[in-house]
Amino acid sequence: MSIVKKLQDKFNVHSKKDFFALVWQFIKFGIVGFSNTLISLAVYYILVFLGWNYLLANTMGFLISVCNAFFWNYRYVFKDKTETSIPKSFSKVFITYGISYLVSTFLIWLMVDILHISEWLAPLIRLVVTVPLNFVLNKLWAFRKREKRK
């Protein structure tokens, strides 16, 4: 089985309609992600400006933004209408964004402490990695639609 076929199966894309639905879902995820990123960055920059360590500021930005991300992804992007409980869904989203947080924190540390990139610029650069990672983890795990049993 080719990698393209595996991806089509994994993302349930078997027609042009499915493809455009996936693209539209990614666009909605991007809109929610943009607002989430603004919240996370605002918290980060305010705390760094107030003298907080950039890694602690990143952690606070994460904690506040994950709640925003859950609400909008649950209601707007993935429209989780299954019998899955909200606490279970939130736990999966928290773990998903937690993985992204760990990657993000590592990248920021690498850029600031090792590559000597500004602590003001590093959070913007890491988005190239974390945005696609968040979408894939949310789509394929946190808000994955369960197959109905026949």
Res 81 pLDDT > 70: no
DSSP calls for 40-70: HHHHHHHHHHTT--HHHHHHHHHHHHHHHHH
| Predicted TM-score of the model (pTM) | 0.66
pLDDT at 64: 93
Q: Which of 1-15, 32-46, 77-91, 108-122 is predicted most confidently?
A: 108-122
- The least confident of 32-36, 87-91, 112-116 is 87-91
CA separation for the pair 106, 58 (Å, rounded): 11
Amino acid at 1: M
pLDDT in tens, 18-39: 888 878 888 888 888 888 889 9
Mean pLDDT for all residues in the chain:
83
> What is the share, in percent, of the chain residues with pLDDT greater than 70?
86
CA separation for the pair 89, 60 (Å, rounded): 21
CA separation for the pair 61, 2 (Å, rounded): 40
User: Which of 134, 13, 147, 143 is CA-nearest to residue 75?
Assistant: 143
pLDDT greater at residue 21 or residue 110 = 110
Q: 43, exposed or middle or buried, with CB in 10 Å at 0-12, 13-18, 19+? A: buried
User: Which of 127, 119, 123 is CA-nearest to residue 49?
Assistant: 119
pLDDT at 132: 84
The domain limits of the chain are 15-142
pLDDT in tens, 57-80: 999 998 998 888 888 888 777 775
